[in-house]
Amino acid sequence: MRRSDSQFRFELLRDPQGIYGAAILGDPELPRILLGSPLRQKPPPLILRPDHIRLLLAETDEGVAAYRPIDSARIFRGTLEEQFRMFLEFALTMQSGASIQQWQEDWSAPPYTDARRRKAQRFRELKAASYRETNRLLSIAFGEAAPDDVLSTARRYALSSRHAIYRAAARSDRFLQLAHTFPVLAHKIAVPGNGPSSKTIGEALQLVEQGALLKHVADVMGVSMALRKIAPHAAHIGADATRAFADAPDLIHAYLPSRRCDVGAWMSAVANAMRCGPTFARWAAQHYFEFGDDTKAGHRLADIGDWVQACNLDAPRRNTVPSLVTRPFNPAMAPKTVIRLAEEWHEALLEFQAMDRDFGQVDAFAAPKRARYIANELPPPWLDGAIIDGFEIAPVTRRDGLYREGKDMGNCVGTYGDFVASGETYIYTVRRNKKPVGTLELWRDGRSIRLGQFRGRFNKPAPVPADDAVRKWLHLNGGRVGFEPPQPISVLDDEDTRH
C-alpha cells in the first residue's frame, strides 16, 4: 500500500492579527492498519494566543503539551508536540514513496544486511527531518503567539500540568500571579482530577479574580497554606497530597527538603506514610534521607509501612499460628532497627504463607484486616501471560510473588496486594532469559483495561524493547495503551477502578 501524497499537513494557524497556534490541518482518512498506532486520531490544535484561548471551553484544557521544542526522549511521548511530529513523519514517509508497512517495520532488527542498513538510515533521516521541521514551526509559534511571562511560568510546572496551567494563566492575569505565588493551589484549581467539584473550583476562581486573600482561596479548595512552600515542579505532587498534609502542615515547615530535586520524592513518601497514621508519617518525614537516595527511600518506607500497619492490627494470633509481629513500631526507634524488624516481619509472613500452602493450616485471624495478610492467593489474572519478542509477560498471582517482585526490582509493588485483591489493579512481571526487566501494572477504566505503569529496576524507565513488547501484547489482547478501547474488554464483575 503506497500513497504518493499526504492528505494532511502540520502548519501554523493564522488570522488577521497574526499567528495564534499550530495544528494538523486537513481531515486524514488513515488506513485501517494505522488505527491501533499513535496516529489513530488527529490531535487537537495547540492554541497559544490569549484572545483565542479565552474563546475555548475549560474542558479543552485537558491533555499534555510540553510548550517547548522536543526531542526523542521518552518524556515527550503522548504530548501534542510529539503527535504533531509523528503525523509529519508519516506525511514525509508517504511523500518519499515508502509504504506504510515499511514505515512501521523495525529496520534495526536482524537480519543485518546492507539493504536493511540503508533502509534504516533512510527512515532515521526522515525522522530527524520531522523533528527539525516540527521544532522550527513550534519555535515560531511560541515566539509570536505565546506571551513570554505565561510561557515561562507554565514551563516551570511538570509536563503533565503545563497545558492546563498555561491556558488558565493566559485567560487571567490574576491566575498568572497565583501560579507564581502558590503553585500547589494553582495546580489544584487548573488541572482536572479527582478533587473538588466544579462548583468549588468556580467559587475559587471567582475569589482569585476578585483579588481575595490567598488563605480564603486555599480554604475553599482545602489546601493547607504550608504547601505554599512547594515549588512549581512539584506542585502536582503537592496537589495530590493536600488531604494527607491537611492535618499535619507542620511537617512541611519542619522537614521539607532544602534541595529542589528532593521535594517531590519526599512529599510522595510522606503522603504514602500517612496511611499508617500521623505518628509514622512524622517519623518518615524526619528520617527520610537516612534510607539512601530518593528511589530506595520511597520503596523502603513503603515496605516498612506494611509492617507498621500490621503492628496496629488489634487482633492477636491464636492457637496454631504464632504472632508475626515480634516487636511493635515505636517512633523512638532508629531507622536501622525499624528496617531490621520490618524485614524480619516480611520473611516471617512469607514463611507462614508457605506453611498454609503446603500443610493447609489455614486459621484466619478473627479481625478481617489481619485475614487480608494471611490470604495469599490473588484473583485470576485479567489477561493471560505470553512470550512476545523474547520477553515473558507473566501475571503475579500470589502476595508473596508481589513481595519478591518488589524485592527483585527495587520497587513498592509488594504493597499492592490489597489493590490486586480488590480488583483495582493487576501486576505482571516481565522477564527476559528468566531475569526480571520490568514490573507492569494494569488499571481498570470502567470495564476496560489500560496500561497503568511499566517500570524497570528502582522505578527507572523500562527498556524500550520491553516497552514495545508490552504494548504489542496489550494490542493482541484487544486492549489499548493509555485510552479506553472502542469495545471494552470484559473482566471479572467484582473488579473496579484503582486509586
Is 411 found in the same domain as 308? Answer: no
C-alpha cell at 321: 499460628
- CATH number of the domain where residue 435 is located: 3.40.630.30
Residues 15 and 81 in one domain: yes
In terms of residues, how long is the chain?
Answer: 499
- For residue 21, list its beta bridge partners: 13, 47
User: Residue 417's domain spans which residues?
Assistant: 386-476
Q: E strands within 66-206? A: none
Same structural domain, 312 and 417: no
Start-end of H helices in 323-362: 335-359
Residue 280 sits in the same domain as residue 338: yes
* Residue 237 maps to a domain: no
The answer to whether residues 50 and 133 belong to one domain is: yes
Residue 491 pLDDT: 31
Q: Do 341 and 392 fall into the same domain?
A: no
Residue 420 inside a domain? The answer is yes
Q: Percentages helix, strand, coil for the chain, rounded to the nearest 5?
A: 55, 10, 35
Indicate whether 39 and 141 sit together in one domain.
yes
Are 406 and 299 a contacting pair, CB within 8 Å?
A: yes
Domain assignment of residue 231, yes or no: no
Angle of helix 335-359 versus helix 294-312 axis, rounded to 10: 60
Say if CB 187 and CB 169 are below 8 A apart: no
Reference 414, options 326, 324, 497, 306; nearest CA is 306
Residue 298 and residue 357 in one domain: yes
DSSP H/E element including 243? helix 242-246
Give the amino acid at 397.
T
- Does residue 179 lie in a domain region? no
What distances in angstroms separate CA 96 from CA 5, 6, 107, 126, 136, one per listed residue? 9, 10, 17, 9, 21
Please give the backbone phi and psi of residue 24, each rounded to the nearest 5 degrees, phi first: -85, 120
Secondary structure of residue 314 in the 3-state scheme = coil
Q: Order of strands, edge to edge, in the sheet holding 9-15?
A: 9-15, 18-25, 46-47
Please give the Cα distance from 70 to 148 (Å, whole number): 18
State residue 69's pLDDT score: 94
Question: Looking at the structure, do residues 33 and 102 belong to the same domain, yes or no?
Answer: yes
Total number of domains in the chain: 3
Residue 491 included in any domain = no
Phi-psi region of 302 (alpha: psi -120 to 50; beta: other; left: phi over 0): alpha
Alpha carbon distance 48, 15 (integer Å): 13
Domain boundary residue, one of 146, 167, 197: 146
Q: Flag whether 414 is in a domain.
A: yes
Determine, yes or no, domain membership for 266.
Answer: yes
Q: Cell numbers at residue 462, please? A: 523500562
Nearest Cα residue to 303 out of 331, 327, 324, 272: 272
Residues 141, 25, single domain; the answer is yes
Closest CA to 483 of 448, 453, 454: 448
Residue where a domain terminates, one of 344, 374, 404: 374
Do 314 and 395 share a domain, yes or no? no
Question: 24 forms bridges with which residues in the sheet?
Answer: 10
> Looking at the structure, do residues 306 and 418 belong to the same domain, yes or no?
no
Question: Is 56 domain-assigned?
Answer: yes
Please list the ranges in the chain whose pLDDT falls under 50. 1-5, 36, 314-322, 358-374, 480-499
Pick the last residue of a domain from 331, 350, 374: 374
Residue 102's alpha-carbon distances to 96, 110, 123, 438, in angstroms, are 11, 15, 9, 29
Read off the amino acid at residue 300: R
